[in-house]
A and B are shown apart, each in its own frame.
Chain A
Amino acid sequence: MKKRWICLFVENETGVLARISGIFSGKSYNLDSLTVGITEDKTISRMTISLTSDDKTFEQIKKQLGRSVEVIKVVDFADIAVHMKELMFVRVNHCSDREVDEIFKISKTFHASVIDYSPATVLIESIQTENRNNALIFLLEKCYANRIEIVRGGSVAIEALSIPKGTL
């Protein structure tokens, strides 16, 4: 089992999201995250999907997606270099003054930012790779167990210009 990233160019039509997510649920494929947004061409949407699977299932998934009429192109990010970022908000509740200070420090270290706070609550915004966001959560969960709320957006990615392979 391995983490994978693909991107789909799909028709910007009603029902396409249901069609794509239906392929995953109907065929018991594991879907970790899916983001979708319109592109410069208003008739096309672009999806970034992360999933976990073995090699054989992954090949099937790509084929199944590719044969859908609504899917214009499937791109496997294993083959190319991409910039990839995920937007995440974390709210930490019931903080002491000392903890608030600490959260400011953590944010700085993790290249996240505190975008809002009230005396006992801090709101962090983190735009990072999924792995970096995981690391931030790991730390926050350890320090502020049962006091955090997380909203993750799923990743978006775009092909890199400068390097041939890997994630920037």
Chain B
Amino acid sequence: MLITGAELFVKALKAEQIDTLFAYPGGQAIDLFHVLYGENDIDVILPRHEQGLIHAADGYARSTGKVGVCLVTSGPGATNLVTGIATANYDSVPLVCFTGQVPTGLIGNDAFQEVDIVGITRSICKYAVTVRKREDLAVIIKKAFTIARTGKPGVVVVDLPKDIQKEYGSDEYPEKIEIRGYKPNLSVHAGQIKKALETLNSAKKPLFLIGGGVSISHAHSEMQKLAEITGVPVITTIMGKGVIPTIHDLYIGNIGIHGSYAANMAVSNCDVLFSIGTRFNDRITGKIGHFATHAAIIHIDIDPASISRNIEVDIPIVADAKTAISALLEKAQKLDIGEWSEQIEQWKSQYPLFMKTKGLTPEKIIREINHTFDHAMIATDVGQNQLWATQFLELSDKKQLLTSGGLGTMGYGFPAAIGAKIGNPSKDVIVISGDGGMQMNIQEMATAVCYELPIIVCIFNNGYLGNVRQWQEMFFDKHYSSTCMRYRKSCPNICNSPTERCPEYTPDFTKLAESYGAKGIRVTKENEIAAAFETAKNTLKVPTVIEFMIEPEENVMPIVPPGNALDDMILV
């Protein structure tokens, strides 16, 4: 049978078992929306901005393990995706983004709403392609889904010119395809696994370093088993946090610039660092020449390009985390490392993570979240709010963190939570956001209200772009340059601390929430936290915005100052 390109598009989505589509229409996508009209098997979600759209698809994908699918129009619709493409791809989130395009005959003519979106996104996605012939459409869509979800997952952009959407052609959609330039590693080198185990077994001070890759390959239970069998303590990156329950005896904490003292000390003193699914990003290594200098380093990663790039690795293993960990489990054995474990316990109790400020603090709010919610997805924005969340949130297989780790995109948290709630209607979905980042995609409040999503939005309002302000306080002579969110034209142009006379914060987040039809609660005192969450939990059809008025100049501690080694941190 002959069908149009647009009809094939819908057929392909169904064949790929896509039941949710994040989509925003426009002229060069109108044919695609036309075939989606009244479609029963695919929920078409209309966000309020394409950036919100793609972060929602990203949150949906991270929280369900499925591919997130976006559909937008050409030109501005496509360029509005760019930040979200980079955000998702950096954290290896599987997305397929369809962008409308001007008809093939007009490409290159500077037609209305023509942009070279493939050219723009080529370096920030896994694969980008323009469909140039109707007969290629099915294979390209199949290829897109295959590439997005296999190997190291990522973002694929498929640019769909309007004439191809309308053109009639075959209705066949392939079940499988071969991509000759794309062969993700499916096995694991037995010899390297053996070597890795020998090295691990000979260690006196071994340590597992777990990154986001372990979570992406869904190897949570395998990893926990491996830690328990060997008795080797575990540290994580932000992206790996939660792979084993954070309350587990073997769990130490996050490493890095804002890692815990014990985790940073452990990595600086270990003799074997067994790392899985991390790219040794500069945020976790501190001064590179001083990172884990006493350790033999074993590194498992699906991406050969991540191995021995930032850190020289002694035993490289290119493999999917789950496959490799399963292979390790076959021969893993208990290590005798009593002294090392005691040393770690000592570091842990010496400087536990805590905030010394009295009254309403992020720590207390987050601990209340830990206490109140059993099955939850917690999305964070970026900034101090995110760092506190990664310090104090308790995570497990029932509580997952969604955060922009690689790109650090402000404006990510709230729309990501929308996607997570759409994908997990029975779970509580909570957002932790700053007052700055919240305003980067606040328009999605309408989406959350319209789709009846009872998301709990916690805004940590410190009146500042707090993360940057903290750096200015600590390393730039307290020059609060462009970081005060209360600043008004009438303010002096030099200011380095909040006073009684500071102008009102705008917007009033609670009133803004109410105007969208959501619930708004302001919390100014510690003893109001629990009640606010209780109200939010019992609000079933609309989002609840809880604005927490926190100390303006609160800092994230401990911190490794720029250029320092990990064990050289400022603690309080």
Residues of A within 8 A of B (CB): 10-11, 13-15, 18-19, 22-23, 26, 56, 59-60, 63-64, 66-72
Report the count of interface residues on B (CB-CB < 8 A): 20
A67 touches B304 (CB 8 A): yes
A68 touches B181 (CB 8 A): yes
Instruction: Kindly state the separation between the CA atoms of A56 and B303 in the bound complex, as whole angstroms.
Output: 16
Contacts of A68 in B (CB 8 A): 181
A60's partner among B129, B182, B309 (CB-CB below 8 A) is B309
**Minimum-distance CB pairs A-B, first 4:** A63-B305, A72-B181, A69-B127, A26-B123
Q: How far is the CB of A10 from chain B (nearest CB, A)?
A: 7
Which residues of chain B (298-356) have a CB below 8 Å from chain A?
303-305, 308-309
Contacts of A22 in B (CB 8 A): 122-123
Instruction: Kindly state the separation between the CA atoms of A68 and B308 in the bound complex, as whole angstroms.
Output: 19
A18 touches B181 (CB 8 A): no
* B118 beta carbon closer than 8 Å to chain A: yes
Q: How far is the CB of A53 from chain B (nearest CB, A)?
A: 14
Q: How far is the CB of A8 from chain B (nearest CB, A)?
A: 10
B181's partner among A26, A60, A69 (CB-CB below 8 A) is A69
Q: List 28 A-B contacts (CB under 8 A).
A: A10-B181, A14-B130, A14-B132, A15-B118, A15-B119, A15-B122, A15-B128, A15-B130, A18-B119, A18-B122, A19-B122, A22-B122, A22-B123, A23-B123, A60-B305, A60-B309, A63-B305, A66-B304, A67-B303, A67-B304, A68-B181, A69-B126, A69-B127, A69-B179, A69-B181, A69-B182, A70-B181, A72-B181
* B180 beta carbon closer than 8 Å to chain A: yes
Instruction: Kindly state the separation between the CA atoms of A10 and B181 in the bound complex, as whole angstroms.
Output: 8
* B147 beta carbon closer than 8 Å to chain A: yes
Contacts of B304 in A (CB 8 A): 63, 66-67
The contact string, 1 if C-beta is below 8 Å from chain A, for chain B 131-150, is 01000000000000001000
Q: How far is the CB of A110 from chain B (nearest CB, A)?
A: 40
Instruction: Kindly state the separation between the CA atoms of A63 and B126 in the bound complex, as whole angstroms.
Output: 14
Contacts of B309 in A (CB 8 A): 60
Residue in chain A with minimal CB distance to B119:
A18
Instruction: Kindly state the separation between the CA atoms of A29 and B230 in the bound complex, as whole angstroms.
Output: 42
Q: 7 more A-B contacts (CB under 8 A) besides A15-B119, A63-B304, A71-B181? A: A10-B181, A13-B129, A15-B118, A19-B122, A26-B123, A66-B304, A67-B303
Instruction: Kindly state the separation between the CA atoms of A66 and B309 in the bound complex, as whole angstroms.
Output: 15
Q: How far is the CB of B230 from chain A (nearest CB, A)?
A: 30
Instruction: Kindly state the separation between the CA atoms of A63 and B180 in the bound complex, as whole angstroms.
Output: 16
The answer to whether A11 and B181 touch (CB under 8 A), given A19-B122, A69-B147, is yes
Instruction: Kindly state the separation between the CA atoms of A155 and B490 in the bound complex, as whole angstroms.
Output: 65
Instruction: Kindly state the separation between the CA atoms of A63 and B123 in the bound complex, as whole angstroms.
Output: 15
Instruction: Kindly state the separation between the CA atoms of A10 and B180 in the bound complex, as whole angstroms.
Output: 10
Residue in chain B with minimal CB distance to A13:
B129
Residue in chain B with minimal CB distance to A56:
B308
Q: How far is the CB of B544 from chain A (nearest CB, A)?
A: 43
The contact string, 1 if C-beta is below 8 Å from chain A, for chain B 529-549, is 000000000000000000000
Contacts of A72 in B (CB 8 A): 180-181
Instruction: Kindly state the separation between the CA atoms of A69 and B181 in the bound complex, as whole angstroms.
Output: 5
Residue in chain A with minimal CB distance to B179:
A69
Instruction: Kindly state the separation between the CA atoms of A15 and B129 in the bound complex, as whole angstroms.
Output: 8
Contacts of B180 in A (CB 8 A): 72
Instruction: Kindly state the separation between the CA atoms of A11 and B309 in the bound complex, as whole angstroms.
Output: 27
Contacts of B119 in A (CB 8 A): 15, 18
Q: How far is the CB of A42 from chain B (nearest CB, A)?
A: 14
Instruction: Kindly state the separation between the CA atoms of A72 and B183 in the bound complex, as whole angstroms.
Output: 9
Q: How far is the CB of B532 from chain A (nearest CB, A)?
A: 46
Instruction: Kindly state the separation between the CA atoms of A15 and B182 in the bound complex, as whole angstroms.
Output: 17
Q: How far is the CB of B316 from chain A (nearest CB, A)?
A: 11
Instruction: Kindly state the separation between the CA atoms of A14 and B147 in the bound complex, as whole angstroms.
Output: 19
Instruction: Kindly state the separation between the CA atoms of A72 and B182 in the bound complex, as whole angstroms.
Output: 7
Q: How far is the CB of A72 from chain B (nearest CB, A)?
A: 4
Instruction: Kindly state the separation between the CA atoms of A3 and B489 in the bound complex, as whole angstroms.
Output: 58
Instruction: Kindly state the separation between the CA atoms of A14 and B181 in the bound complex, as whole angstroms.
Output: 16
Contacts of B305 in A (CB 8 A): 60, 63-64, 67
Q: How far is the CB of B90 from chain A (nearest CB, A)?
A: 14
Contacts of B123 in A (CB 8 A): 22-23, 26
Contacts of B118 in A (CB 8 A): 15
Residue in chain A with minimal CB distance to B309:
A60
Contacts of B130 in A (CB 8 A): 14-15
Q: How far is the CB of A79 from chain B (nearest CB, A)?
A: 17
Instruction: Kindly state the separation between the CA atoms of A120 and B122 in the bound complex, as whole angstroms.
Output: 49
Q: How far is the CB of A74 from chain B (nearest CB, A)?
A: 10
- Most B Cβ at <10 Å: residue of A14, A60, A63: A63
Instruction: Kindly state the separation between the CA atoms of A148 and B179 in the bound complex, as whole angstroms.
Output: 47
Residue in chain B with minimal CB distance to A43:
B180
Q: How far is the CB of A44 from chain B (nearest CB, A)?
A: 9
